[in-house]
Amino acid sequence: LPEYAFIGRSNVGKSSLINMLTERKSLAKTSGRPGKTQLINHFKINGNWFLVDLPGYGYARVSKRDKKTFQKYITDYFLKREQLVSAFVLVDIRHSPQNIDMEFMEYLGGNMVPFSIVFTKADKLKPAIIEKNVANYLKELTAGAWEEAPNHFVTSSSKNIGRDELLIYIDEINEQYFKETK
């Protein structure tokens, strides 16, 4: 089955987003303690695709050794990734592009992994600011390594924003995927 990988800095809201998408509150553990999602989890959704929960990166307070271990999990996954169709890189909508996220997106680009950006925690900002932040973020990206702005989604797990858009998008890619692999 096709896989979609979700990844981002620790505390970006990945577990909450996954819970929103899967509607199974008990599966991905959210907590105020960053860096808690350590292993790769697969969630089967609608019986026809896997949501892949990758370890969060960039948490300053984990040891160097743990960082290396996380990194290895992540790179091992992307190097194998037989079923991976696309990745979703989560970023907090309040922040401008961070080096660690840019580096990660460059890594994906360099390995020909298609990806979209998922802005998280949109409930924390007013709509006008959201629009401005998104535009700035994409502008900064395209001023750097990217010729074209990646596809993007604005989400809030606490206000249930962006869920349908993401799921519909994935369904559309899946339709194509199943046509091609028939």
Helix, strand, coil % in the chain, rounded to nearest 5: 40, 20, 35
Residue number with CB closer to ligand GDP (10 or 41) = 10
Residue number with CB closer to ligand GDP (61 or 80) = 61
CB of 20 to ligand GDP, least distance (A): 8
Residue number with CB closer to ligand GDP (55 or 97) = 55
Contact assessment for residue 91 and residue 44, using Cβ atoms and an 8 Å cutoff: no
Angstrom distance (rounded) from CA 97 to CA 73: 24
CB of 59 to ligand GDP, least distance (A): 8
Own/partner long-range contacts of 175-178 (Cβ < 8 Å, ≥24 apart): 177/2, 177/85, 178/48
CB of 180 to ligand GDP, least distance (A): 32
CB of 33 to ligand GDP, least distance (A): 8
The contact set with ligand GDP (CB under 6 A) reads 10-16, 30-32, 34, 37, 56, 120-121, 123-124, 156-158
Residue with tokens 């001023």: 143
